[in-house]
Structure 1
Amino acid sequence: MRRVFTAFAALLGAAVLAGCERPPPVSVQHGYRGTGMVQVYNPRALEQQVPLNQPPAATPALPAAGPAAKTIYQNVQVLGDVDIGNFTRLMTSMTQWIAPNEGCAYCHNLENLADDGKYTKVVARAMLRMTQQINADWKPHVAETGVTCWTCHRGQHVPQQVWFTTPPQDKRADFIGNRNGQNLADADVGLSSLPGDPFAMYLSAQPKKIAVGAPTALPTGHVASIQATEDTYALMMHMSGALGVNCTYCHSTRNFAVWSESTTQRVTAWHGLRMVADLNVNHLVPLTDVFPAERKGPLGDVAKLSCATCHQGAYKPVYGAPMAKDFPELQRVAPPAEAASAAMNTAEPLRLSQR
């Protein structure tokens, strides 16, 4: 009997210890002592994560000489003024970033490069414009680091982290009650019971106000509610996982709502949320009719961006490697027609309940 009890105790102990992380996590203090302003990392997880965020070596740029690409090729709508040498260099890099196996044929009709018959070419053109806008108009978020196609794609046709609108609950299952989009252990919100689709609420057209605590005792005239709090926490769980950080990366432990005591990363994140919503609305959703049905979600919408699309578990995409500086063709001054979109990144951060 004692042997049975000892064996049972050993199995129970093993089960308990299985939940412990090895090697022990490392905490890095980045605030005043005793305030709990620390970031916690697991060395084993970082060992796996770091190699995945190493950008490929850039092909050296060529002297800006020779004729413009639009004088050599037809139907060059975005990069027509780039000299032919660096135009070819960028096209070659794009095949490595997005379609390393298919090469040019993934987007182009090799018998007629000017042909727009492949939807992938139309999408690639739109994504070039989007990348240029990010680097030119959204510096409050990407700063001088910028982005390239590889930042999201990393050698894949479709970025690994995208989202589609979640279908509503099946009405034939009403006997289980209204799940409110929750209790599905969704990986996008840390496998929690929070709403599993914070993206449609905050990263699309007319995003909801991010609200938790009301500034008054009564919620009259205020957006804060238990529902708004759960929605907000779902978004925060997504951001935490997407960047591989704790809440204290942006927020002060003394008062999460106070901007004056928050870290500078909170302002950067604020711009990032508005940037993602802008890109989804103005660059991806307009491509709905371009994509074939098999590339769309269950409700017929196109794949859209979230924080994880670029970050993929790193506090900065590719740990801040400044890839964009090697490709000036992907940076430009926004034309006047896009001034309204660019103005979104200059607004004052939302305060108190609107955080």
Structure 2
Amino acid sequence: MSAFARISSMLAALAGAALLAGCERPPVDSVQYGYRGTGMVQVYNPRAMAEQIPLNQPPVAQPPISADGPKAKDVFKNVQVLGDLSAGAFTRQMLAITEWVAPKEGCTYCHSENLADDTKYQKVVARRMIQMTQKINADWKPHVAATGVTCYTCHRGNNIPAEIWFTAEPQNKRADFIGNLNGQNYPATTVGLASLPNDPYTPYLQKAMDIRVAGNTPLPTGNRNSIQHTEQTYGLMMHMSKSLGVNCTYCHNTRSFGNWQESSPQRTTAWHGIRMVRELNNAYMQPLTDTFPAARKGPTGDVAKVYCATCHQGAYKPVYGAPMAKDYPELLKVAMVSTSGPAALPPPVAEAQRSVLYFDVGSPVLQDAQARGLAELITTMSKTPAAKATISGFHSAAGTLAQNQELAKQRAFTVRDSLLAAGIAESRVTLAKPQQTEANVAGEDPTARRVEVTIK
């Protein structure tokens, strides 16, 4: 054999080894999720699962305690959440949170010697995180179902959850000579070191850009989605796949990725999860920016935010679906901090050419009667194929203008996304700029927190 032939054979062998290195070494397990021939199969590596299973075991619940006795808010000072629990049940919950978040530091991680003192930022944050947990369990059942979440779901015994994200640093354009690279061609682990845009989270998990790969109308009519949108969407899908330890076919049918009727139920669960994460980042995390010290912020000064991996951490269900929350019923419902509570929302307006939907304070999610009003709007649009909808988000004059405008957009996106998910063509739905209502000197005005839909 000539030297050239030997070198060629060696290179071929190395190339083959490199290709095989990208595959799972047998034996592997597979689970079929859809019809045969659609490729809807999940492949699991038993060796990887053996490492992951011990990391997803829930801790033993604290021993139950009587709900009788004086209330915590009457025994302790400055109890702003969970105060209606008995002092014993409140202490039990605090012990559990300590085990979940600060098992080494103990109570002193959040508290000073004066337990009523709020000087430690950890205590202020923890209070808000309890409320966020309650919000998830009470209002986001389409995603978390009856299983719910606890502080352990994200923290797993760590002060800071292992999986969080910050906004990527802006590109240095060097006097704008090199143009906008959109975060591409950076060695970022967020997108698997690929050439995709390196921040797939801000557009979709804080803002509400279209998650779109293929247009649903022939080009050029009606399809406003660019190749750049496709690349950003791929980055987000890679994150979701890695976070849950699954591949694309866990949610999608490979015959038609965009077809909801041929997708698995998990796709609907993921749809709600994306919107849940947006609300958590905008209504709970971002307002804490000034509370966190500089050392806890990202390179652009932003606060840490959540995404799929924060809870899932490589498992298709966080902690493999262990129903921890049932042992702590105080985390399953939203407790009002103020005894007066916010003003009740007006009923939704459902007319032939106009719909109005109202939202809770700081929330882009439609609840109860408002959700039924949205269902009526979808029915109207479905029965009238020629009708087109213009969606306008409104906000009050009170508060920060930029945050109000962003929240108004999120609310408009909620309505738009629901219409699209129901099969209403994108070409029939138009978004208008956020609009501001006049200030209400009497206080928070529930009629300002609305989305109006004009049907023509």
- 2:34 equivalent in structure 1: 31
- 1:149 equivalent in structure 2: 151
Deviation at 1:80, TM superposition (A): 0.5
- 1:243 equivalent in structure 2: 244
- 2:193 equivalent in structure 1: 191
Which of 1 and 2 has greater Rg?
Answer: 2
Return closer, same or farther for 1:222/1:58 CA change in 2, 3 Å cut-off: same
Q: Work out the CA distance in 2 between the residues paired with 1:223 and 1:296.
A: 35
Number of equivalenced pairs: 352
CA offsets 1:86-134 (integer angstroms, 9 cap, x no match)? 1111111111111111100000012x10000000000000001000100
Q: Give the partner amino acid of 1:166.
A: A
Larger fraction in helix? 1
RMSD (CA atoms): 2.6
Q: Work out the CA distance in 2 between the residues paired with 1:221 and 1:300.
A: 38
Match of 1:99 among 91, 97, 102: 102
- Per the normalisation by structure 1, the TM-score is 0.91
Secondary structure at 1:28 match in 2? strand
- 1:140 equivalent in structure 2: 142
Secondary structure at 2:78 match in 1? coil
CA offsets 1:138-166 (integer angstroms, 9 cap, x no match)? 11100100000000011111111111110
Deviation at 1:65, TM superposition (A): 1.4
Whether the 8 Å CA contact 2:173–2:180 is kept in 1: the answer is: no
Whether the 8 Å CA contact 2:251–2:264 is kept in 1: the answer is: yes
- Equivalence map 1:93-242=2 (5 Å): 93-110=96-113, 112-172=114-174, 178-204=180-206, 206-242=207-243
- 1:50 equivalent in structure 2: 53
The percent of aligned pairs where both chains have the same amino acid is: 63
Q: 94-103 or 336-345, which moves further after superposition?
A: 336-345
1:343 aligns with 2:365: yes
Secondary structure at 1:58 match in 2? coil
Return closer, same or farther for 1:330/1:113 CA change in 2, 3 Å cut-off: same
Q: Work out the CA distance in 2 between the residues paired with 1:95 and 1:42.
A: 34
Whether the 8 Å CA contact 2:131–2:334 is kept in 1: the answer is: no
Which protein has greater RCO, CA pairs closer than 8 Å, 6+ apart? 1
Q: Work out the CA distance in 2 between the residues paired with 1:59 and 1:183.
A: 49
Return closer, same or farther for 1:2/1:167 CA change in 2, 3 Å cut-off: same
Q: Work out the CA distance in 1 between the residues paired with 2:18 and 2:191.
A: 26
Return closer, same or farther for 1:216/1:29 CA change in 2, 3 Å cut-off: same
- Per the normalisation by structure 2, the TM-score is 0.72
Whether the 8 Å CA contact 1:133–1:334 is kept in 2: the answer is: no
Secondary structure at 1:233 match in 2? helix
Unaligned runs of 5+ in 1: none
Unaligned runs of 5+ in 2: 343-358, 372-414, 427-456
Return closer, same or farther for 1:25/1:173 CA change in 2, 3 Å cut-off: farther
Larger fraction in strand? 2
CA offsets 1:235-268 (integer angstroms, 9 cap, x no match)? 1111111111111111111211111111111111
Whether the 8 Å CA contact 1:23–1:43 is kept in 2: the answer is: no
Whether the 8 Å CA contact 1:270–1:349 is kept in 2: the answer is: no
Secondary structure at 1:171 match in 2? coil
Secondary structure at 1:34 match in 2? coil
Q: Work out the CA distance in 2 between the residues paired with 1:50 and 1:219.
A: 49
Return closer, same or farther for 1:14/1:199 CA change in 2, 3 Å cut-off: closer
